[in-house]
Amino acid sequence: MRMMVNWNGVITPLEEACLPVFDHAYLYGDGLFEGIRIYNRNIFKLDPHLERLYDGVRHLDIRGMIPYEELKERILETAEAAGAENAYIRVSVSRGTGIGLNPENINQTPNVMIAITRLALYPPEMYEAGLRVVTVSTRVTPPDALDPRIKSIGRYVANIQAKIEANRQGAGEGLMLNMQGYVAEATGDNLFIVKDGVLRTPHPACGILKGITRGTVIEIAQDWGIPVVEDWLTLHDVYTADEAFLTGTAAEIIPMVMLDYRPIGDGKPGELTEKIIGEFRQRVREDGVRIGVGVR
């Protein structure tokens, strides 16, 4: 596979791609993004990702965005040009080009970037042994500042700071709380715990991004008749869980075996966690949009 970039409809190799220095996302984080996976030439959950992106476009009042189907076609064309079999797609949208905070004083023609690349969030051995996680002091952005359902570029500065905290403690990941002290999410992942056969995950009102992989896990559980509760969780709930795991497009599904130096359950990946991982790996190869067949 060759890493390729589509910038405003023009496809080039990654090493030849460039962007305007006054792009508003580059200057101010004024934009949105999505990360999407390709499995065996199958783009997994493409429409849910794009629906979330266009919801963000409307929320942030980004004007002049290209039509949904045109963006979808660009993604397929770029993936085809890259010869992508298994890859990571990054879609970024900025408000436009120009210096200064005031959108009225810039060229409000959105810049749309699609990159076909590779991304491995954690080393392979962590998927086998599970992650050690620590609670970090950096809190998730509160909804009265920015709605957590918006996958905006600028909000991830807090997540990066949280990741730096976790790195300093030698942990695989950092768990973030909200301003009220309830568990929210990890730096780039959603959290699930298992307790007495019930799957529990932080409620969206806790300040989480409603992840696409999170939604897939809920679908799997519902198909299997496993109770799922979106809940207000405290650290006590996680410390005393039978199992725990994290989910995300980049992370996929990874067991979480320790929090703040306390083993979760028996300190090993749980039985239900491993079953869900197996089912997820099957579904990603069956549910999606095939590269090379155009928009459906």
Q: Which CATH architecture is the domain 124-283 placed in?
A: Alpha-Beta Barrel (3.20)
Q: According to the model, what pLDDT value does residue 72 have? A: 98
Question: What pLDDT shows up at residue 296?
Answer: 43
258-289 tens-digit pLDDT: 999 999 999 999 999 999 999 999 999 887 89
Number of other residues whose CB lies within 10 A of the CB of residue 91: 22
Specify whether the backbone of 134 is left (phi greater than 0), alpha (psi in -120 to 50) or beta.
beta
Q: What is the dihedral of CA 113, 116, 122, 124, to 10 degrees?
A: 170
Average pLDDT over residues 113-132: 93
Single pTM value for the model: 0.94
Per-residue pLDDT tens digits for 159-217? 999 999 999 999 999 999 999 999 999 999 999 999 999 999 999 999 999 999 999 99
Residue 63, token pair as written in the block:
């004007």
Fold classified for 4-119? D-amino Acid Aminotransferase; Chain A, domain 1 (3.30.470)
Domains in the chain: boundaries? 4-119, 124-283
pLDDT band at 293 (very low <50, low <70, confident <90, very high): low
Segment 52-102, tens digit of pLDDT = 999 999 999 999 999 999 999 999 999 999 999 999 999 999 999 999 999
The 10s digit of each residue's pLDDT in 209-265 is: 999 999 999 999 999 999 999 999 999 999 999 999 999 999 999 999 999 999 999
Q: Do domains 4-119 and 124-283 have the same CATH topology?
A: no
Q: Is the pLDDT of residue 295 over 60?
A: no
Q: How many residues does the chain have?
A: 296
CA 124 to chain centre: 19
